[in-house]
Amino acid sequence: MRKSYKQQFWLTVGGEQVAVHLSAMRRKSMRMLINADGDVDLRIPLGYPKADVLAFVNANHDWLLKRRSEVLARQQVAQESVLIRGRELPFKLSALDEFMVAEQAVWVPESWQPAQIEQALDAWLRAEARHEYPQMIERWWPFFSQFDVRRPQLRIKKMRTRWGSLSQRGYINLNLALMQLPPELLELVVVHELCHLRHFDHGAGFKALMTQCLPDWKQREQQLNQLSRRLL
């Protein structure tokens, strides 16, 4: 049996040399992502021919170029401001040795490095999420309790490809980045996952229940999709 392995090679994208981090594993298809550093993460099935891998990458060159440009642009914005509860707040330097999220700006000590700012922001978002996510679940639980289902246990996670998920083991997983969205989009994701307690697929029954809970859920979903490229 073949074993999983990892390799790295370089690819020219838009005239720049970009690192490709290849992971071969037990999976059925290839998947390509641009990570937060602007590098390419490529996941392939074990035993996949090298020529087919290169052909796949070359065939998606235009997508890589566009997606990488979006990621790098997002990095530039992230150095200047941050989205919190749907509002763009600029970073401002403070003479105080204290990180503070205020109404109009995020204040950071002028001596801090980017890694310190990222760590402090992460801690602040997590503390707020521990307060707001349970509140949103509590708000909707009286409705969903009528289905005689067990209330799921909340887990707050960093997820790169989804806003939330419902585990058959009894967990509702919510992305930490939801704290950066407007409250109505946090509500959309929470209701979406709670609807899976009744319908574990996305069929007609699920959609009818979503409409019963949130008549404008499709419009909210469009907003969510627009923000996904920036935050996921």
What is the domain-level CATH number for residue 168? 3.30.2010.10
Do 38 and 72 reside in the same domain of the chain?
yes
pLDDT band at 75 (very low <50, low <70, confident <90, very high): low
129-179 tens-digit pLDDT: 999 999 999 999 999 999 999 999 999 999 988 999 999 899 999 999 999
**Predicted structure pTM score:** 0.70
Task: Give the burial string for 4-23 (b: 16+ CB within 10 Å, else e).
Answer: eeeeeeebebeeeebebbbe
Q: What percent of the chain has pLDDT over 70?
A: 96
| Tokens at 135, concatenated | 């509140």
Within a domain: residue 191?
A: yes
Do 88 and 179 reside in the same domain of the chain?
no
Do 107 and 127 reside in the same domain of the chain?
no
Do 90 and 140 reside in the same domain of the chain?
no
Instruction: Domain count for the chain, please give it.
Output: 3
Do 192 and 148 reside in the same domain of the chain?
yes
Q: Domain range for residue 140?
A: 123-231
Q: Is the pLDDT of residue 74 over 70?
A: no
Eight-state DSSP code of residue 27: -
